């Protein structure tokens, strides 16, 4: 009897030691991946260390948005920017470990418009850009509202990411021919450009200040053939070389195609960015540079570029922002030419009728057999947030200073200050880091609604 009791006692000691060793290897928060997987066993999933993004500085589309916990039982919810969101939990079948929110575990591609700088905030996620390479066309520096493609790593809950490469180029450049204020739209070289409350303006404050004949440069998201949802519009661009982006239609191989109402002759064009003469096809989204002949309505292409490519390999993590096309139901529609299945997102049934053609959305998910199986789906509408994170510089007054080299106006009576006061802007400049969140960028100035002083 004593021998058996002693055996059971020794076995208990050894088992306890093994559990302690396992916990010491997986816990601690700074380990991210191992901590996150252990958190999944324990049911907490909150052990990751996270990035250096301060609380409350995102766009409001992540956080309490129904991403689900380690049990994979996502719940519906909403962000703070008027978006509607749903998640399908962490059991996405992608083969990617859930990890802590501070670790990046999946090869990721994000396509959308820049919602913040100080790193890059894209589709509600802050991508750390410390080690990223950047390729820019049509601009000398990245600005809020510019379209962008980011390649890097992201955690499986789409809450924290690291960028390895950042690409950005304008989608449209030319003279405005038609303006329709009632429809918030204008036309450039046969492409209808629509704007919304998230469109950023430079050189103007609104569409009301644009006149026919004005040369504009537009960053945006291609939607239905011949249409572009503008995310940023600049008047008087530095370069006047015509540029147009859209979905290829009426293709005559080796000769011509149409982009909206524009006929593009491409027989003498060069190719780049993942497309060539053999891969030109109906429905492909391309960016075309060349010369426009207004009298004939013909665009003579000198260069045809593949637009931001969406990876097709299984389990690739993808974030897309764009306008819904080809909608047949929540489980079958397209964004930026990519097929989407959002049937597993637990999207609130009361909001399903809000999904349809022309609706602007953000989709996070994993590729499966050429289809993006959505983990999260957000309808983009209502108020928007733009963010700058960095040190105060070039301080003149509360309504005139810079963060990340971009102008800020925090002098409004409704601006809220956290961890400090408006007087601290002057006393702590030029080195104190702050987070500035605003809901409007007017002629490239971020109008602050909240300023948060970050720890030294």
**What is the rounded CA–CA span in Å between residue 309 and residue 280?**
14
Q: ∠ at Cα 137 (220, 404), nearest 5°?
A: 80
**What is the rounded CA–CA span in Å between residue 86 and residue 96?**
20
CA distances from 287 to 199, 243, 258, 304 (A): 20, 7, 12, 6
Candidates 273, 285, 179, 169; CA nearest to 217 is 169
Q: What is the CA radius of gyration of the chain?
A: 24
Candidates 99, 89, 119, 149; CA nearest to 318 is 149
Alpha helix locations (H) across 234-376? Answer: none
CATH of region 172-306: 2.40.50.320
One digit per residue, pLDDT tens: the chain, 456 residues?
444 444 444 444 444 444 443 334 333 333 333 333 322 322 233 333 333 333 333 333 333 333 333 333 333 333 334 444 444 443 333 333 333 344 446 799 999 999 999 999 999 999 999 999 999 999 999 999 999 999 999 998 999 999 999 999 999 999 999 999 999 999 999 999 999 999 999 999 899 999 999 999 999 999 999 999 999 999 988 788 999 999 999 999 999 999 999 999 999 999 999 999 999 999 999 999 999 998 888 999 999 999 999 999 999 999 999 999 999 999 999 999 999 999 999 888 888 899 999 999 999 999 999 999 999 999 998 789 999 999 999 999 999 999 999 999 999 999 999 999 999 999 998 989 999 999 999 889 999 999 999 998
Q: What is the pTM of this model?
A: 0.78
CATH class, domain 386-453, is mainly beta
**What is the rounded CA–CA span in Å between residue 342 and residue 93?**
14
Identify any residues that bridge with 356 across adjacent strands, giving them in sequence order. none
Q: ∠ at Cα 286 (280, 288), nearest 5°?
A: 105
Domain ranges in the chain? Answer: 172-306, 386-453
Candidates 97, 167, 105, 96; CA nearest to 368 is 96
DSSP string, 375-434: EEEEE--S---EEEEEEEEEEEETTEEEETTEEEE--STT-EEESS-HHHHHHHTTT-EE
**What is the rounded CA–CA span in Å between residue 82 and residue 207?**
23
- Which tokens go with 311? 């990876």
Candidates 97, 96, 110; CA nearest to 61 is 110
């Amino acid at each position: 009897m004593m021998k058996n009791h002693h055996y059971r006692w020794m076995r208990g000691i050894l088992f306890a030691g093994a559990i302690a060793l396992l916990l010491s290897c997986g816990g601690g928060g700074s380990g991210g991946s191992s901590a996150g997987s252990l958190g999944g066993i324990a049911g907490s999933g909150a052990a990751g260390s996270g990035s250096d993004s301060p609380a409350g500085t995102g766009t409001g589309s992540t956080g309490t948005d129904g991403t689900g916990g380690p049990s994979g039982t996502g719940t519906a919810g909403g962000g703070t920017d008027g978006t509607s969101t749903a998640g399908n939990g962490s059991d996405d079948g992608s083969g990617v470990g859930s990890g802590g929110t501070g670790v990046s575990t999946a090869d990721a591609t994000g396509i959308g418009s820049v919602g913040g700088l100080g790193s890059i905030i894209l589709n509600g996620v802050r991508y750390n850009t410390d080690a990223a390479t950047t390729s820019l066309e049509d601009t000398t520096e990245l600005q809020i509202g510019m379209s962008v493609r980011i390649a890097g790593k992201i955690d499986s809950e789409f809450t924290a990411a690291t960028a390895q490469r950042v690409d950005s180029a304008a989608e449209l450049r030319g003279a405005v021919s038609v303006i329709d204020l009632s429809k918030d739209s204008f036309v450039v070289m046969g492409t209808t450009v629509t704007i919304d409350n998230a469109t950023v303006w430079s050189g103007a404050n609104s569409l009301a200040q644009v006149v026919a004949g004005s040369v504009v440069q537009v960053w945006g998201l291609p939607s239905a053939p011949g249409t572009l949802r503008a995310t940023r519009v600049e008047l008087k661009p530095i370069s006047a070389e015509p540029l147009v982006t859209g979905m290829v239609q009426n293709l005559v191989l080796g000769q011509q195609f149409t982009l909206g109402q524009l006929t593009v002759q491409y027989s003498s064009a060069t190719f780049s960015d993942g497309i060539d003469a053999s891969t030109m096809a109906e429905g492909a989204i391309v960016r075309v540079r060349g010369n426009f002949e207004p009298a004939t309505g013909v665009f003579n292409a000198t260069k045809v570029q593949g637009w931001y490519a969406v990876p097709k390999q299984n389990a690739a993590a993808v974030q897309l922002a764009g306008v819904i096309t080809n909608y047949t139901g929540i489980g079958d529609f397209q964004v930026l030419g990519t097929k989407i299945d959002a049937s597993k997102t637990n999207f609130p049934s009361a909001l399903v009728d809000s999904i349809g053609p022309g609706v602007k959305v953000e989709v996070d998910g994993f590729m499966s057999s050429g289809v993006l199986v959505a983990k999260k789906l957000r309808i983009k509408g209502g108020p928007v947030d733009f963010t700058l994170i960095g040190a105060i510089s070039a301080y003149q007054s509360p309504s005139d200073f810079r963060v990340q080299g971009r102008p800020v106006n925090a002098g409004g009576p409704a601006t809220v200050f956290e961890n400090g006061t408006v007087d601290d802007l002057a006393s702590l400049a030029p080195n104190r880091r702050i987070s500035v969140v605003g809901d409007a960028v007017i002629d490239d100035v971020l109008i602050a609604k909240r300023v948060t002083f970050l720890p030294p």
